[in-house]
């Protein structure tokens, strides 16, 4: 059988059509393979959710616990060295102490000679010791008092001579400063002293040097300018300590400065140092000025840093204690 012969144009079309479908099939096959590979790769990857780390609040170290510790101290340092006083202290401490803790919170009365009362307390340090516990250190001052009975011989002599017996004497000591650690535990709602409170040594004074140096770079040595500045400061400080807020605002160019009328009275400018400001009309002034505290009449010397502006008159643009 003879093979059918196609015209050249038909043969060319068949070849092009065959090449197209072959290429299309190959591209489709490769695309499917690529999709499968990507899917397999993704299946092997485990996405881990991002955890948001939030720090739990320890209420045992908060302001409420600090107030609780101070209230506890007011009861702890308040005792009367009598049987009735001891029982009363037990009742007053009950609301603060954890179940099973010593009812006197560690205080013993054997050999006790004094009664006590708290003068004042302040929170000195807060140290978290667990997720719901903390040690709160208080700086306390307490007074000691006692009654000293008269000498028995003097009482006996008075009885023999039929004269009034010498009276008992009240003695007072202190106030004494102590650092007192109160172990606090919370259930998230309230607090309890869960361990025996105790005394610790007070902190040592740090070796810190006062920063009293003034940068004299660019110091202006102009006698006439210095006289003008001193005159302007005398006027300003006088109004600052004796004038009304409206009167004071007349001398201010910038943020408001509160009047000190009724608190202290200006005396004099003691020292002055003038350096250039940020513009030709501005001057930075370092001064020590003397004031008198109105109630005690004590003199105080305050260092100030001011920015003065000279226009038609002098204005205070800024003022701060050094």
pLDDT tens digits for range 105-134? 999 998 888 999 999 999 999 999 999 999
Tell me what the mean pLDDT of segment 135-146 comes to: 95
Question: What domains sit in the chain, N to C, each tagged with a CATH number?
Answer: 59-200 (3.10.450.540), 223-321 (3.10.450.540)
Tell me what the mean pLDDT of segment 90-99 comes to: 96
**Residues 220, 274 contacting (CB under 8 angstroms):** yes
Of the candidate ranges 16-20, 128-132, 186-190, 273-277, the one whose mean pLDDT is the lowest? 16-20
| Residue corresponding to tokens 């209230």 | 71
Query: Residue 19 pLDDT > 80, yes or no?
Result: no
- Residues with Cβ < 8 Å from 47, sequence gap 6 or more? none
The pLDDT value given to residue 32: 65
pLDDT tens digits for range 191-220? 999 999 999 999 998 888 877 777 777 788
> 59 by DSSP, 3-state: which?
helix
> 301 by DSSP, 3-state: which?
strand
The pLDDT value given to residue 219: 86
pLDDT band at 13 (very low <50, low <70, confident <90, very high): low
**Residues 276, 305 contacting (CB under 8 angstroms):** no
Closest CA to 261 of 279, 238, 243, 287: 243
**Residues 177, 152 contacting (CB under 8 angstroms):** no
pLDDT tens digits for range 20-58? 667 667 767 676 666 666 566 555 555 556 666 666 889
| Angstrom distance (rounded) from CA 88 to CA 78 | 10
Neighbour tally for 162: CB within 10 Å: 6
Query: Residue 142 pLDDT > 90, yes or no?
Result: yes
């Amino acid at each position: 059988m003879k093979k059918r012969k196609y015209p050249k144009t038909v043969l060319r079309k068949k070849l092009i059509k065959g090449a197209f479908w072959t290429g299309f099939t190959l591209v489709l096959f490769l695309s499917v393979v690529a999709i499968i590979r990507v899917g397999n790769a993704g299946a092997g990857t485990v996405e881990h959710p991002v955890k948001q780390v939030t720090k739990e609040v320890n209420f045992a170290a908060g302001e409420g616990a600090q107030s609780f510790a101070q209230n506890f101290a007011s009861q702890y340092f308040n005792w009367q060295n009598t049987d009735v006083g001891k029982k009363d202290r037990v009742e007053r401490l009950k609301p603060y102490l954890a179940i099973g803790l010593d009812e006197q919170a560690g205080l013993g009365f054997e050999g006790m000679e004094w009664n006590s009362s708290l003068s004042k307390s302040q929170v000195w340090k807060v140290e978290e010791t667990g997720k719901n516990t903390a040690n709160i250190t208080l700086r306390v001052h307490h007074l000691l008092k006692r009654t000293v009975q008269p000498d028995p011989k003097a009482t006996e002599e008075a009885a023999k001579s039929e004269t009034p017996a010498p009276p008992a004497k009240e003695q007072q000591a202190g106030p004494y400063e102590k650092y007192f650690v109160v172990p606090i535990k919370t259930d998230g709602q309230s607090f309890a002293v869960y361990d025996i409170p105790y005394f610790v040594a007070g902190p040592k004074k740090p070796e810190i040097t006062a920063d009293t140096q003034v940068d004299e770079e660019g110091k202006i040595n102009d006698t006439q300018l210095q006289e003008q500045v001193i005159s302007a400061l005398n006027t300003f400080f006088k109004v600052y300590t004796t004038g009304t807020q409206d009167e004071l605002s007349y001398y201010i160019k910038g943020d408001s400065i509160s009047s000190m009328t009724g608190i202290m009275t200006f005396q004099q400018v003691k020292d002055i140092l003038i350096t250039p400001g940020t513009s030709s009309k501005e001057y930075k002034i370092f001064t020590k000025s003397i004031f008198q505290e109105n109630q005690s009449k004590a003199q105080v010397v305050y260092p100030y840093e001011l920015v003065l502006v000279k226009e038609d008159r002098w204005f205070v643009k800024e003022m701060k204690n050094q």
